[in-house]
Amino acid sequence: MASENKERESKGYAWAVAAGLNAALAAISAKFFFSPLVKYSFVIMFNVTMWGCYVNSLRALSSLQATVTNFATNFLSSGLAGFFLFGEVLSPKWFAGALLIVVGVVVLSKSSIEKKERTD
């Protein structure tokens, strides 16, 4: 039973990360493509895919875990894509904020899991 929960949870995190990556890809495609038809087609496609992944993550995780994992993945991948694809400057403050977000995600996820285990 415990191994089933672990597997379900890891799949939930994979879905949440996929949702965050798709959200970032939607933003990237809005900047990357010049043709409005292509741009909006990709934005819609990535957003629909993101929502599907997010809903799947909610089936395996708490809403807190799914949301913060999705947000953190979106934030980090959007920032790194801006740096690598568009030559945007990432200041030390951005990296400090990114580190705090990642630490916050870990803390929230762990505290949510511990609290859930205590109430069952």
In percent, how much of the chain has pLDDT > 70?
Answer: 90
Q: Which pLDDT belongs to residue 106?
A: 85
Q: Which domain holds residue 109?
A: 2-119
Number of compact structural domains in the chain: 1
Q: What is the pLDDT of residues 73-98, one digit of tens each?
A: 999 999 999 999 999 999 999 999 99
Is 90 exceeded by the pLDDT of residue 6? no
Sign of CA dihedral 100, 105, 106, 110: positive
3-state secondary structure of 78: helix
Write down the pTM of the prediction: 0.85
Mean per-residue pLDDT, 26-35: 91
